[in-house]
Amino acid sequence: MIKNKEASADASQRIFGCFILEVLFFQLVLEVAPIFPDFRERIYTISKKRLANWEHIILRAKQSGEIRETLDTSVLARNLMSVSGSMLNIELEQANFQYMFSDTRMQFEQYYMLIKK
């Protein structure tokens, strides 16, 4: 997950001058969704697919015995999806690229320590 985010951030920085792809995505959604209902529906579909993917991964981890079976799959999936968005809570103009990814990695590691068997 982290390697993918870092690669996306590098490409985003080169192309758009902004290293957090989610910033561009959220700006677009906030500006365009109220105007174009079809676009809003596409974003909703993408979000549901992301949630389903997270839930699938969590279910596989439960089945393999890697994480506790008692966890609420849907709630955990939503929490894990929000980790990358939490980077947006940092003041972006003064943000340190390495800090943001180390913070994201730390958040995922903390979640894993809480949910593993």
Q: Name the DSSP letter for residue 18.
A: -
Q: Which residues pair with 67 in a beta bridge?
A: 116
Tell me: pLDDT of 96 over 90.
Answer: no
Q: Which residues pair with 116 in a beta bridge?
A: 67
Angle between helices 73-85 and 21-32 (to 10 degrees): 100
Q: How many CB atoms lie within 10 A of CB 71?
A: 15
Q: Name the DSSP letter for residue 19.
A: S
Tell me: pLDDT of 62 over 70.
Answer: yes
Helix residue spans in 33-72 (DSSP H)? 37-63
Does the pTM of the predicted model rise above 0.85? no
| pLDDT given for residue 39 in this prediction | 83
Confidence of residue 60 (pLDDT cuts 50, 70, 90): very high
Q: Which residues pair with 100 in a beta bridge?
A: none
Name the amino acid, one letter, at 20.
I
Tell me: pLDDT of 67 over 90.
Answer: yes
Provide mean pLDDT across the span 74-94. Answer: 74
Collapsing DSSP states into helix, strand and coil, what is residue 64? coil
Tell me: pLDDT of 8 over 60.
Answer: yes
| pLDDT given for residue 33 in this prediction | 80
Confidence of residue 15 (pLDDT cuts 50, 70, 90): confident
